[in-house]
Amino acid sequence: MKGLLANSCLGAVGLTLMLGLGMGNAAAAESKLPAVDASVSPCDDFYLHACGPWIKANPLPAERSIYGTFHELAQRNQDILHAILEDATKSKDADLAKIGSFYAACMDEAAADKAGIAPLKPLLTQIDAIKDKKQIAALVAMLHQDGVDALFGFGPQQSFEKAEDTIAAFDQGGLGLPDRDFYFKDDARSAGLRDAYVKHVTAMFTLAGDKPEVAAKKAAAVMAFETRLARDTMSKVDRRDTTKLNNPSSFQAFAASAPAIDWTAYVRDVKAPSFTQMNVNDPQFFKGLNDSIQATDLADLKTYFTWAALRRAAPWLSKPFVDENFAFYGKTLSGAQELRPRWKRCTDATDSALGEDLGRHFVQKTFGPEHKSRMLTMLDDLRAAYAEDIKQLDWMSEATKVKALEKLDAMAQKIGYPEKWRDYTALTVKRDDLLGNQMRASGFENAYHLAKIGQKVDKNEWFMTPPTVNAYYDASQNNINFPAGILQPPFFDFKADDGLNYGAIGAVIGHEMTHGFDDQGRAFDGQGNLKDWWTEEDGKRFEEKAQCLVDQYGSYKVAGDTSQNGKLTLGENTADNGGLRLALMALKKRVGGEKALTAKGADGMSPEQKLFYGWASVWCSSARPEAERLRAQTDPHSAPRHRVNGTVSNMAEFAQAFNCKPTDAMVRGDKACKVW
């Protein structure tokens, strides 16, 4: 699944309903000119020119490590969700009971503080009770049902080669630091983060009741074991090559390859349907996992499992645990200065656990049929633009163009919210059991997904909740998805004219469409099968053009000293560049051609210029250095400034629109990159 944002991929939650003009009423639309920094030339730094006023007017909140227009919209959406939930806690309406009880339990901070670690004790006792490594399988199954990330991942996956089928798949997992490289990079900052992590784990064990010297030994054992797991964990860049993840296997062969775990017992106890065929996303990881379990004392393994449980539960225990968890994961890793208010954390938790139940009420308040109608028109415009783009490519053969057009034509689209809402009847929620609700919600979600194994794929299912400020492309289903949460200003504004809307939500539509043809998406055909439909020569030409983007974005730095990873961000950079070009093509046709596109209106700005301002407006943001460095290592999306400047500097149309000289910073000239 390819999202517009980071891990929150694009972002967060939805907003006030903007009623207004239908599509094609650009002449009657409100101009809504952007505020710009006239002291910065658009040709020198378009991001600062377009976003400077917003950044100055929106200082980074203490609770945030990064804050931008995405998050501003997410906050408006969250305010709506908050109001719904506050009403739900007081309502006697059965339709609101479950979300109201979940939220009320989460908000009862006094009860959490009084309980301390007691709610987690039963699970910790079960971990401590195992006497033999043969019991690990049953223990991990229980932990996974409670939402504890231990050792590895398991769940349903669309078959790479038969996309209509859902199969079982095993995957890597079990690390407490954000990425494998955090365990091995030898620079001073990385070494400092590892030291801070060990101190954090020590502090958590101490809070759980261990003496400091015992806690320190346990933390060292956790670090040693996780480092072993990390050594065999596939890198994020390698995982971009989907062929490396396609490793079909029989369950019998897989179980025999890593006998340190009783896989039959695990599958039984996690309550998965029976299966014989499956996929192993990273066989080397499971070979290493087998060796690590065999080489590690049972006592140290139990310590690792205890830490995994503590890490999972910490945000929902008493204040000392919450604060210590934030001190490392919030402050040390990402730079946030203050813990977010509890109501925000609990609103997010309710959205995560009961997303479509809560989402139904959100949609009723924010998303009407006029939103969907206008989106459908824009989607048609962007689809037509992409077809035109493919047909006129000078580097792709006619044979591959035919296949590309077939895939584009088959690309499905979903707007706003699911056609059928999920049923949460089987999820037990108690008004006085915060941690229990969290774990039962994880078990409910786990059971929901495991039940898919052996079934046909439901292409109507959504993988983001309706209030989410994000969008995504699913390569295995060849569809693009736009939750109601993002279909609001500044992305989609009924009171703005076409130029700004096409630069914002139009470019997002183009972004998601382009994911179907980026370095990962192009490996799948129109039905979602992993299948090479390119001629060999066309594939080479694509890679040559894509390398230009790898080099360009790999040359950018964040926080003054950390390079972006051009390979990790290739897919998103391809989608940004392709999406904005497609939006410009669609806008040109919508307004009536080149002359109308470039003509200055009464406000002194052309539709073309407004498109570029619309693009910049959705990426305005500020970030702490820690967050910028963390994202550069782990996030497949480039920093917002580079998403804006990197994209417009590749477009001759931008230089023409703002009368930039060939020597200006926003003009790459003959070094400009273009794939789509």
Which one of the listed residues 576, 608, 628, 635 is annotated catalytic? 576
- pLDDT-based confidence at 13, cuts 50/70/90? very low
247: left (phi over 0), alpha (psi -120 to 50) or beta: beta
Query: Does residue 518 carry a catalytic annotation?
Result: no
The DSSP result for 224-282, as a single string, is HHHHHHHHTSPPTTGGGSHHHH--EEEHHHHHHH-TTS-HHHHHHHTTPPP-SEEEES-
Q: What is the mean pLDDT of residues 391-398?
A: 97
Residue 643 has pLDDT above 90, yes or no: yes
Q: What is the mean pLDDT of residues 587-616?
A: 96
Q: What is the mean pLDDT of residues 353-380?
A: 93
Which one of the listed residues 512, 572, 628, 653 is annotated catalytic? 512
Looking at residue 484, what DSSP letter applies?
Answer: G
Query: Does residue 576 carry a catalytic annotation?
Result: yes
- pLDDT-based confidence at 637, cuts 50/70/90? very high
**H/E element holding 544?**
helix 536-554
| Region of poorest pLDDT, from 223-232, 488-497, 534-543 | 488-497
Domain assignments of the chain as residue spans, ordered by start: 2-82+353-418+462-671, 117-316
* Predicted pLDDT at 32: 63
CATH 3.90.1150.10 fits 2-82+353-418+462-671, yes or no: no
Q: What is the mean pLDDT of residues 23-31?
A: 37
15: left (phi over 0), alpha (psi -120 to 50) or beta: left
* Predicted pLDDT at 377: 94
Average pLDDT value over all residues in the chain: 94
pLDDT above 70 covers what percent of the chain? 95
Report pLDDT digits (tens) over 182-191: 999 999 999 9
pLDDT above 90 covers what percent of the chain? 93
* Predicted pLDDT at 20: 22
Task: In whole angstroms, give the CA distance from residue 604 to residue 377.
Answer: 27
Assigned fold of 117-316: Neutral endopeptidase; domain 2 (1.10.1380)
pTM: 0.93
Q: Do domains 2-82+353-418+462-671 and 117-316 have the same CATH topology?
A: no
* Predicted pLDDT at 18: 21
